[in-house]
Chains A and B, each alone.
Chain A
Amino acid sequence: GQNIDQPTEMTATEGAIVQINCTYQTSGFNGLFWYQQHAGEAPTFLSYNVLDGLEEKGRFSSFLSRSKGYSYLLLKELQMKDSASYLCAVRDQDYKLSFGAGTTVTVRA
């Protein structure tokens, strides 16, 4: 099984940078995903890492270290619309996802 930990809440100012950490213990690692979920809506895909290193997609970047069981999602130039929950998910060898409880990010003006 998977044990996935991420902070419950984070607050940041508009225009700033926020880093959301995710640590995991896994019985079979086959990729790590980050999803964004606005209140009352479905999760939507943000990023995918399977190899060590940094993946950059516009204002969002995600980093993975498989040896440390560690990932982070970096949100730059924060906007009010980035206020949401961010879900870290680990995929196993059977292509099933296990999710962390999510980190609620609040962006303040």
Chain B
Amino acid sequence: IAGITQAPTSQILAAGRRMTLRCTQDMRHNAMYWYRQDLGLGLRLIHYSNTAGTTGKGEVPDGYSVSRANTDDFPLTLASAVPSQTSVYFCASSEVGDADTQYFGPGTRLTVL
């Protein structure tokens, strides 16, 4: 059982390039999330999806887009990367219930030059 996988593990990207970060979960969780983590700021929610076919904006959605075509996959796309998008990106999933916690993937370290 893999849980949540993310790809790539790390990436260096030129500014202006398009990039898709992949996230796949095998726990059949309804909800999935994308966060970025920056030193001193903690985890900030970018986009989320409570169920396949629906998505919502989090705290810092600008410059990012997501899709949720099925339960397992939740890719995050940077249409035109900028240096301020240099960060560690975590994907997470959960059931939507009282005590249900979020489970995190291993993260993608992205550097935009």
Measuring CB to CB, which residues of chain A are less than 8 angstroms from any residue of chain B?
A: 1, 31, 33, 41-45, 48, 50, 87, 89, 94-102
Contacts and interface: CB of A to CB of B under 8 A. Distances in A.
Contacts of A50: 98-99
Interface string B92-113: 0010101101111111000000
Contacts of B40: 101
Contacts, number: 51
B103 A48 contact: no
A6 to B, nearest CB: 9
Contact of B42 (A31, A42, A96, A102): A102
Nearest to B30: A95
Given A31-B98, A48-B101, A43 B31 contact: no
A101 B42 contact: yes
Interface of B: 31, 33, 35, 40-45, 48, 50, 56, 58-59, 90, 94, 96, 98-99, 101-107
B105 A42 contact: yes
Name the 7 nearest CB pairs between A and B, nearest first. Answer: A42-B104, A101-B42, A99-B43, A45-B101, A99-B42, A43-B104, A95-B96
A44 B105 CA distance: 10
A7 B98 CA distance: 27
